[in-house]
Amino acid sequence: MDTYIYVTDAPKDRNVRRTESIKLYGPEAFEGMRRAGALTAVCLDEVADLVRVGTPLSDINSFVIDFAKQHHARPATLGYEGYEYACCTSVNHVVCHGFPNAKKLRDGDIVNVDVALEVDGWYGDSSRMYSVGRPKRAAERLINIAHEAMMRGIEAVRPGARLGDIGFAIQHYATSERCSVVRDFCGHGIGQVFHDAPNILNFGRPNTGTELREGMIFTIEPMINIGNPEVKLLEDNWTAVTRDRSLSAQFEHSIGVTADGFEIFTLSPKCLHAPGVDLLISASE
């Protein structure tokens, strides 16, 4: 049986922790999430300028550290379970949790940058795909499919729908495009806790699982592969790669369940959150 707890709006209450019951948040929490989500989105907007041929991934890490400092925020991944960086940078066949190390971006690479910022006790968590130089057709296609898969998951969100509906929407779409869904990682509850209950699986059956209620706050972050879904963990115990070394792509938004649907907290004010924006802009000029 799922249990839900109503969280009183106490933005500065630092005693909130991960629980197995699902937290339902009120309007003040949504305000806090809007601020944290917007800052995370602006950070990812600015990361776009760094993603060029020759940029070491560590430059992205330094940028996120400086950006957070400037805006009185804290990168949530820094020191999280022993993770030592302010973001994750996952290039090509890296599925997630790639280290922003000295490795340089190369022409044709695709990279996911995942940033989570804590602002006044609220967590914004989001990731996007960027392409370096000229992406290959297959890579571009995968990026579009991963974004659409996330959006189909988000669009399944409304009070009364169930977690299986989100997973099904993602899985059904990705597999209809002959891509596969990684099963080893999932989205999560978020709010005043970085990773909270419930797990948001990227596969499932319609009308199964936990029922969604107004006030729930969580991430949707599917990882989609061109090849097979299996992943393996590298020696560093963090970096997850596709076993068949096929390309992988991921997008992530932090969202809240509203009375009649959903609110996305991590939308870019410049509308840079979706792939293909550059193309659209140049087409309209």
Map tokens 């999560």 to a residue: 188
Run of H or E residues at 242: strand 240-242
Tokens at residue 259, please? Answer: 């009375």
Nearer to ligand MF3, 62 or 207 (CB): 62
Tokens at residue 77, please? Answer: 């991944």
Nearer to ligand MF3, 52 or 195 (CB): 195
Q: Give the one entry of ligand MF3, Co ion, none that residue 181 binds, where binding means its C-beta sits below a cut-off of 5 to 8 angstroms depending on kind.
A: none
Give the span between the Cα atoms of 154 and 144, in whole angstroms: 15
Give the span between the Cα atoms of 199 and 280, in whole angstroms: 35
- Dihedral pair phi/psi, residue 282, rounded to 5°: -70, -30
Q: Tell me which residues touch Co ion (CB under 5 A).
A: 125, 219
Tokens at residue 182, please? Answer: 């990684």
Give the span between the Cα atoms of 81 and 61, in whole angstroms: 18
Q: Give the one entry of ligand MF3, Co ion, none that residue 97 binds, where binding means its C-beta sits below a cut-off of 5 to 8 angstroms depending on kind.
A: ligand MF3
Q: Tell me which residues touch ligand MF3 (CB under 6 A).
A: 77, 80-81, 83, 88, 97, 114, 116, 125, 221, 252
Nearer to ligand MF3, 109 or 252 (CB): 252
Q: Give the one entry of Co ion, ligand MF3, none that residue 77 binds, where binding means its C-beta sits below a cut-off of 5 to 8 angstroms depending on kind.
A: ligand MF3
DSSP helix/strand/coil, 143: helix
Taking each continuous run of H as one helix and of E as one strand, the counts in the chain are 5, 17
* CB of 206 vs ligand MF3, minimal distance in Å: 25
Q: Which residue is nearest to ligand MF3 (CB)?
A: 77
In order of 88, 116, 184, the CA distances from 157 in angstroms are: 27, 22, 22
Q: Give the one entry of Co ion, ligand MF3, none that residue 40 binds, where binding means its C-beta sits below a cut-off of 5 to 8 angstroms depending on kind.
A: none
65 Cα distance to chain centroid = 18
Nearer to ligand MF3, 63 or 140 (CB): 63
* CB of 252 vs Co ion, minimal distance in Å: 5
- Dihedral pair phi/psi, residue 270, rounded to 5°: -95, 10
* CB of 94 vs ligand MF3, minimal distance in Å: 12
Nearer to ligand MF3, 140 or 191 (CB): 191
Hey, what amino acid is at 282? S
Q: Give the one entry of ligand MF3, Co ion, none that residue 80 binds, where binding means its C-beta sits below a cut-off of 5 to 8 angstroms depending on kind.
A: ligand MF3
* CB of 82 vs ligand MF3, minimal distance in Å: 8
Nearer to ligand MF3, 129 or 140 (CB): 129
Q: Give the one entry of Co ion, ligand MF3, none that residue 6 binds, where binding means its C-beta sits below a cut-off of 5 to 8 angstroms depending on kind.
A: none
